[in-house]
A = this chain, B = another copy of it.
Amino acid sequence: MPLPTARTVADLRAQVRAWKAEGLSVGLVPTMGALHEGHLSLVRLAGQRADRVVASLFVNPTQFAPHEDFAAYPRDEARDARLLAEAGCALLYAPTVPAMYAPDASTTVAVAGVSEPLDGAARPGHFAGVATVVTKLLLQAAPDVAVFGEKDYQQLVVIRRLVRDLDIPVEIIGGPTMRAPDGLALSSRNAYLSAAERAQAPALHQALVQAANRLRAGEAVARVEADAANALRAAGFSRIDYVEARNADSLERLGPGLLAGPARLLAAAVLGKTRLIDNLAV
């Protein structure tokens, strides 16, 4: 049976309203399509926490900078719908760009602080685009829970913050990062890697694992970060946007000495033409 698909907010709301009238809870998994096992694990997690799972598929133009890969971003809705149905998704919400944004749309949700460093600094405007479209998706679908991957850790922190600050009535759940056997975090952008680059790419995860071990052993943060960046350069990464240990909740920089409280190691680096990100709890 093909997966039912809603193209408009009205269709989406009609289905969610019908489920809620039956007393069923609803989980939302926002995606940009090009699905892999990482997305599907989020759908299964949502299925454990809610009676019905909606997955959205929307390649959001406002979170891509002008020079980024919006036009080239991989799209295959039929394949995505098949995978979602197999993972237990009950409804695909795949709006068009005009259905999401009025021609004179002018409202932006901005999250100061947690959205500013790291990818916020490397990708100007990215998190304003993410925060605005996620606010819209949450208010369109009105789910009881929404699941986002820890792979995009800063995004998860930004979303938790805006949901709290704007009083959006939803529980945000982070799903663990899925990895290839060699440790590479699953990502739709891995499809851009050549065979040679694919062989080099696991060095990103390895550098984070080693850095996390050294931080746990009490080594100085600045030294561990510098060594991790050097390891990535040695492994063939051409540009290191950041390799940093930060407070896991506030994303504030850690002091130069020992760790205090839960920390997260985050990295972004470019291999060939592909920018990869990864992160790890310390």
* A residues neighboring B (CB under 8 Å): 9, 13, 102, 104-114, 131-132, 135-136, 139-140, 142, 161-162, 164-169, 250
Contacts and interface: CB of A to CB of B under 8 A. Distances in A.
Contacts of A136: 165-167
Task: Tell me whether chain A's interface is mostly helix, strand or loop, or mixed.
Answer: mixed
A271 to B, nearest CB: 33
A13 B161 contact: no
Contacts of A9: 167
A107 to B, nearest CB: 4
Contact of A168 (B102, B105, B139, B164): B139
A276 B105 CA distance: 30
Contact of A140 (B105, B135, B161, B167): B167
B107 A169 contact: no
Contacts of A162: 107
A161 B107 CA distance: 7
Contacts of A167: 9, 136, 139-140
Given A140-B167, A142-B169, A169-B142, A109 B111 contact: no
14 contacts: A106-B114, A106-B161, A106-B165, A107-B109, A107-B112, A107-B165, A108-B109, A108-B111, A108-B112, A109-B110, A109-B166, A136-B167, A139-B168, A139-B169
A269 B112 CA distance: 34
Contacts of A135: 166
Contacts of A107: 109-112, 131, 161-162, 165-166
Contacts of A250: 104
A228 to B, nearest CB: 28
A124 to B, nearest CB: 16
Contact of A112 (B106, B113, B131, B168): B106
A110 B110 contact: yes
Give the residue among A107, A112, A142, A164 with the most B Cβ atoms within 10 A: A107
Contact of A102 (B114, B131, B142, B164): B164
